[in-house]
Amino acid sequence: MTKPFEKIIIANWKMQLTIEESVAEAKEMKKLLSKSKLPNSTAVVVCPSFLAMSEVAKVFKGSDIILGAQDTYPGDVGSHTGEVSLRNLKTLGCEYVILGHSERRAMGETDESINLKVKATLEHDMLPIVCVGETYDERKEEKTNFVVIHQIYEALKDVNIREGQQIILAYEPVWIIGSGQVIDANEADRMSQIVRQSYVDAMNGEKLDALNIIYGGSVTAETVAQFTNLEKIKGVLVGGASLDGKTFIDIVNKA
Ligand code: 13P
């Protein structure tokens, strides 16, 4: 069970840091965050690589930083070479799980598998961060709305969100990720309304209280507020600018 937050700032470290580097940045974040006067209605989440998670978990122990994972497998035990279970993630204190990131979709992750992972994550009382977004070609072909609506609908098929549980839908335009450019705030606002309406439709108008929408794609300390100031966007999912502890906490403070 996770309490609802007013702001959610998530670091996705992807495959960028060694274990040693992850521990060093985690320590820096913990130190800087303890000095910042952040309201406890802000969730600060860090998703290291699987390999670094247990060491980073030790650093975050006793701090306000929440541990997240970059993916999972929707089953507890079994012959699944290379996979990592929610059961094991939970023993580390991991609470949030990124699902359906475009970099995983590009490697063959299907809507069906994302849907199974969303259900399993909620069954373990952990919080799914479901990533959706269009590619450059899809946008050019005016399929943006269709793609995002479809991805949300498929991810949430037959999903049961229990009382007190939360879910995050992260709108990340694929063509913006890692580009150094952000989308126009008006467009992010328009997409947040599409995301919200898709959620309402997929959930038959129920569990609106459980929804949190965030934006991702080349967010920096300079640009974060233009998204978090939008009515329907609660936070950001940060890649490149989250790799340096000081830069990430700067984003957290400016959100
Ligand atoms: P960048 O912030 O590096 O564009 O990455 C965004 C992202 O993919 C977060 O999941």
Domains, the chain: 7-70+81-254 (3.20.20.70)
pLDDT of residue 192 exceeding 90: yes
> Which residues are the active-site residues?
101, 172
| Ligand 1 pocket, mutate which of 218, 220, 243, 244 (most atoms under 8 A from CB) | 218
Nearest CA to ligand 1 atom 9: 239
Percent of the chain at pLDDT above 90?
96
Q: At what angle do helices 19-35 and 245-254 cross, to 10 degrees?
A: 40
172 lines ligand 1 (CB under 6 A): yes
CB 87 within 8 A of CB 114: no
216 lines ligand 1 (CB under 6 A): yes
240 lines ligand 1 (CB under 6 A): yes
The pLDDT, as a whole number, for residue 2 is: 62
Cβ count near 115 (within 10 Å): 21
Q: What is the pLDDT of residues 97-140, one digit of tens each?
A: 999 999 999 999 999 999 999 999 999 999 999 999 999 999 99
Residue 236 forms beta bridges with which residues? Answer: 9, 215
Q: From start to end of the chain, where are the E strands?
A: 7-12, 42-47, 65-69, 96-99, 127-132, 167-171, 211-216, 235-238
The pLDDT, as a whole number, for residue 95 is: 98
Q: Cα separation of 105 and 68, whole Å?
A: 19
Q: Cα separation of 218 and 74, whole Å?
A: 29
CB 33 within 8 A of CB 195: no
| Ligand 1 pocket, mutate which of 237, 244, 247 (most atoms under 8 A from CB) | 237
Nearest CA to ligand 1 atom 7: 239
Q: What is the pLDDT of residues 143-162, one digit of tens each?
A: 999 999 999 999 999 999 99
Q: Cα separation of 210 and 63, whole Å?
A: 25
Cα(156) to centroid(ligand 1), Å: 23
Q: What is the pLDDT of residues 227-248, one digit of tens each?
A: 999 999 999 999 999 999 999 9
Computed over every residue of the chain, the mean pLDDT equals 97
What average pLDDT does this structure show over 20-45? 94
Q: Which of 154, 183, 158 is CA-nearest to residue 169?
A: 154
The pLDDT, as a whole number, for residue 4 is: 84
Cα(238) to centroid(ligand 1), Å: 5
Residue 145, burial from CB neighbour count under 10 angstroms (0-12, 13-18, 19+):
middle
Tell me the two tokens of residue 144.
């943006």
Q: At what angle do helices 144-155 and 185-202 cross, to 10 degrees?
A: 40
pLDDT of residue 206 exceeding 80: yes
The pLDDT, as a whole number, for residue 37 is: 82
188 lines ligand 1 (CB under 6 A): no
Q: Is the pTM of this model over 0.95?
A: yes
CA 102 to chain centre: 12
Closest ligand 1 atom, CA of 241? Answer: 2
Q: Cα separation of 205 and 153, whole Å?
A: 13
Q: Three-state SS for 40? A: coil
Cα(215) to centroid(ligand 1), Å: 10
Q: From start to end of 123-226, where are the E strands?
A: 127-132, 167-171, 211-216
Q: Give the CA distances from residue 1 to residues 65, 115, 164, 247, in Å, rounded to whole numbers and listed in that order.
A: 16, 20, 6, 30
pLDDT of residue 209 exceeding 80: yes
CB 228 within 8 A of CB 248: no
The pLDDT, as a whole number, for residue 38 is: 84
